Amino acid sequence: MAVGDPIPPDRVIYRALNKKRMNEALTAPNEIAFLLKTANGNYPDETHLSFGVSPAAAVAGLTNMRYICSIAVQDILRLDRHLLVTEDDDPQKVRVSGMPLITENEELSMAIAKDLLGIARMCP
């Protein structure tokens, strides 16, 4: 497998979340959990959401990420939003791309974020 190769639909991928990206009851992600970050400081605009191939891989290298949710790749593809689920250059990570930045298209970015929220499941 190489960077950019599609992840098989039967796989489940995991996203690490901090408290900011959880609902108030901390029982589910909120919609900003699935928005791309715009450029800030020395960081450029994000071009993809980062997921892990496992819960441990999702949080690897990250701090303050106490929550993890999972999404089945086939559920992402079924959203019919032309999202891509592909290999990262880190074999433990997965990229989900194809959504716009909120500064580029508020309606589409928010709708896709809500779609992803609807298919996400919290990990115990």
Partner 1 sequence: MSNLNFLAASGSTVSGLRGGSSYYREFVSSESQIETALETAELDEGETRPSDQIISELTRLVQVASRTISFPAKAEVSVFFGEAVVTWKSGPREVTILSRGNPDDPKVLRYESRPDAPRSASTIIPNATPALLRSSIKWLYS
Q: Could you tell me which of 94, 91, 92, 99 has the C-alpha nearest to residue 117? A: 99
**Under rule CB under 8 A, which residues in 10-69 are in contact with partner 1?**
18-20, 23-24, 30-32, 35, 37-38, 40-41, 43
Min dist. Cβ of residue 41 to partner 1 (A)? 4
Size of the site for partner 1 (CB under 8 A): 26
**Under rule CB under 8 A, which residues in 81-120 are in contact with partner 1?**
81, 102-103, 106-107, 110-111, 114-115, 118
Distance CA 7, CA 45 (A): 23
Q: Are 81 and 99 in contact (CB under 8 A)?
A: yes
CA-based radius of gyration for the chain: 14
Of the two residues 20 and 124, which places its CB atom closer to partner 1 in the complex? 20
Q: In what order do the strands lie in the sheet with 121-122?
A: 84-87, 93-97, 48-52, 12-17, 67-72, 121-122
Residues within the interface to partner 1 (CB under 8 A): 18-20, 23-24, 30-32, 35, 37-38, 40-41, 43, 79-81, 102-103, 106-107, 110-111, 114-115, 118
